[in-house]
Chains A and B, each alone.
Chain A
Amino acid sequence: MSSAAAHAEHDHAHDHAHHAHHDEGFIKKYLWSTDHKMIAMQYLFTGMAMALIGGFTVYAFRMQLAFPGMSVPGYGRVTATDYNALVTTHGSVMIFWVAMPVLIAALGNYLIPLMIGCDDMVFPRLNRLSYQLFLLSSIVLIASFYVPGGAFGGAWTSYPPLSAKAEYSLTGLGSSLWLFAVALEFAAFLLGGINFITTVMNSRAPGMKMFDVPIVVWMIIIASILFMASVGPLIAGAVMLLFDQQLGTGFFDPAKGGDPVLWQHLFWFFGHPEVYVVLLPAMGIVAEIITVFSRKKLFAYKTVLYTAIGTGVLSFFVWAHHQFIAGIDPRMANVFSVTTLLISIPVAEMVFVYIGTLYGGSIRLTTPMLWALAFIAEFLLGGVTGIFLGASGADIYFHDTYFVIAHFHYTFFPIAFIGSFAAITYWFPKMFGKMMNETWGKVHFWGTIIPFNAIFIPLFLLGARGDHRRIYDYRHFPDLMKSGMQDLRVFATLALLVLLAFQVVFLVNLFYSIFRGEKASANPWNANTLEWQAPSPPPHGNFPQGLPNVYRGPYEYSHPDRQDDYWPQTEPDAAKS
């Protein structure tokens, strides 16, 4: 997979020749660019390419589960080792190489300078380095598929001793390459985070006070801070695990005085804040979309901001709920149970604010709006099922069952996919200067949402009935093959096939519109935020008319003093039209 060539091609397509760049050659403009928009596109297309890998892996292992022992078309027989590698790759890729690059790196890079009214990130070369590290991490991960032993098969959580000892995981070299890929990815996002935070703190347009910053920008910043504050111990742990794997140290080996539970703690101390790292940007995207398409200001800007910060803070206090049955001190389990249940409160508050925003608004059901609404509904379902898991008593039964899988897909899928589709369909006109086709957009929407629910509702049922996760072949468990359970697995898998098929609609719409879409104006949605004051797409330097000044907040829609139902941030007060 040469994602470099692939995205260079796509970038060439969308970067119209009509821009007055200071004369840059092909290499400088595409492969070695420091322009935040180009880097954003690189992240976006790399992330989308990796999503294909994530999708292919789930296709293969779900086919194995539905039709065990049969050869999967396009893959072949799925052995037990294959299965482990497939589920590990699926999880790792979707979180680290799809959700994070698209929601944070691509959108953050694209939107932040535009939305705060400046011409680029404060450290463009560091930005380029971040992408290059990220690209390298993807290459290392893909390389791990082809080494002896194959891809790492110890699950994305990589618990030792399975992950530490090659004789257990059967993927010795693959495990170290996986660790190395993850470490590179962390480095890329740490550097990127510093760039984002510094840019938003220092480079805002004159007049843009803290509470005039669009919510999505705030969310990306809070996410970057959360990431930065939580990833350190895992980086330490990853180094220790790498040494255990390659040098024979015993950091996590009880026989050598180490402790495997230490890895779990180090992993989840990061792993839990990580889910909020991806959640917050998705919620930010939804905030932008629902305000524009209900022509109404955000119901309570400061509440959303403060609850987001509160969620971020609280997210550091809940991590051991992933370890309730790992043999941790039972008194800690009590503490973490309480904090886990508590964290649902700020998130619910944000959802209430969003509903309050929609209420009484002049709703326009465009494709981005459909995605945003679906996010709220589906994420809500995911969130409430988390309550079951947060109660340590119930978790004793549910842990490591398909109930957990269904819960986190009802949260992660909205975050990574619904959020991404919402963002892409909403900002496509700005990014590419063209409009996407609305009809096909809606076809894609329904063709995704309906199968999505059809996949995961059965999984809740299966989990409640005892289906353990990470099982390669349920025929080994006769009790789990009774009373229609295999039928549910087949149904879920068929729904997955439908879901995957409909993604073709999106890809066709995307690429067709990039080349042949209807030309877009600067502000096709009549939105307030600064990026819509730049041309579609913006040239190098973003604002050819000069960097803007800001006079008000981002959500002044349907303001009583205005005839227009929107009031761009850059328009001075005196202009009332």
Chain B
Amino acid sequence: MIRPIATTREMTGMPTGRLAVWWLIASEIVIFGGVLGSYLMHRIGHKEWAAASAHTNTWAGAFNTLVLLTSSLSAVLAHNAALRKDGKRAAKLLWFTILGGGIFLVVKSIEWTGEIKAGYTITANNFWSFYYTAAGLHGLHVIAGMIVMMFVAADAAKGKELQRVENAGLYWHFVDLVWIFLFPLLYIAK
């Protein structure tokens, strides 16, 4: 497919890809807002949930926060490299970011396995239902981000489509932001 002229126009002064990612992020804010808002209302209304949330593994959650923050760092460093037209370095840093996502998912799997074995399944009670749903939805977005970044990194290593490094990074930062709020909401026992 030949790229249409439409894609290259910039009446707003902002490249099309970046404009689109901002709109994507906007739509994701309301999706996660819906999940987290529902959770928040239930949580505040059901004070007894604190007993259930006491069983979440705060250290795993904190470690995962660290992992995602670090992967956000490598994403923005990748952007910096792309600005300097250093595609190879950008690709390397993107792979580092993807690795961060992978570690995040591994830690989560271990965490969840433990919790499920202890009987805290998705149907144990409503706190756990929200826990798995919210974190699961977030996890799906992590996976999607990782896949996209793989494609972007492959192109960047060849010096192609370097502007996509920033766009993929923006999406990744958003995924990090959701986790920044998920962590206290789900893990900090009250």
Contact = CB atoms under 8 A, between A and B. Distances in A.
Interface string A229-252: 111111111011001000111110
Contacts, number: 135
A266 B39 CA distance: 12
Interface in B152-168: none
Interface of A: 34, 113, 118-125, 190, 193-195, 197-199, 201-204, 228-237, 239-240, 243, 247-251, 256-259, 262, 266, 547
Contact of B126 (A123, A124, A249): A249
A142 B16 CA distance: 36
Interface string B119-152: 0001101100110010001000000000000000
Contact of A236 (B6, B26, B34): B34
6 contacts: A123-B20, A202-B9, A202-B14, A228-B23, A229-B26, A250-B129
B129 to A, nearest CB: 4
A190 B5 contact: no
Contact of B30 (A194, A232, A239): A232
A457 B16 CA distance: 49
A533 to B, nearest CB: 16
B37 A125 contact: no
B27 A190 contact: yes
A259 B30 CA distance: 20
A251 B125 CA distance: 9
Contacts of A118: 4-6, 9
Nearest to B3: A124
B44 interface: no
B38 A266 contact: yes
- Secondary structure call for the B interface: helix
B177 interface: no
Contacts of A119: 4-6
B10 to A, nearest CB: 6
Nearest to B27: A228
A233 B10 contact: no
Given A123-B20, A266-B34, A249 B123 contact: yes
Interface residues of B, number: 38
Given A118-B4, A236-B38, 19 more contacts: A119-B4, A121-B6, A122-B4, A122-B20, A194-B20, A198-B19, A198-B20, A202-B6, A202-B9, A202-B11, A202-B14, A231-B27, A232-B30, A233-B33, A233-B37, A243-B133, A250-B123, A257-B125, A259-B42
B54 interface: no
B35 interface: yes
B125 A194 contact: no
Contacts of B30: 228-233
A124 B1 contact: yes
A197 B26 CA distance: 12
A197 B34 contact: no
A173 B19 CA distance: 40
Contact of A198 (B16, B29, B31, B125): B16
Contacts of A247: 122-123
A503 to B, nearest CB: 36
A232 B19 contact: no
A125 B9 contact: no
Contacts of A250: 123, 125-126, 129
B84 interface: no
Nearest to B9: A203
Nearest to A230: B30
B1 A123 contact: no
Contacts of B37: 233
A197 B6 CA distance: 13
A201 B11 contact: yes
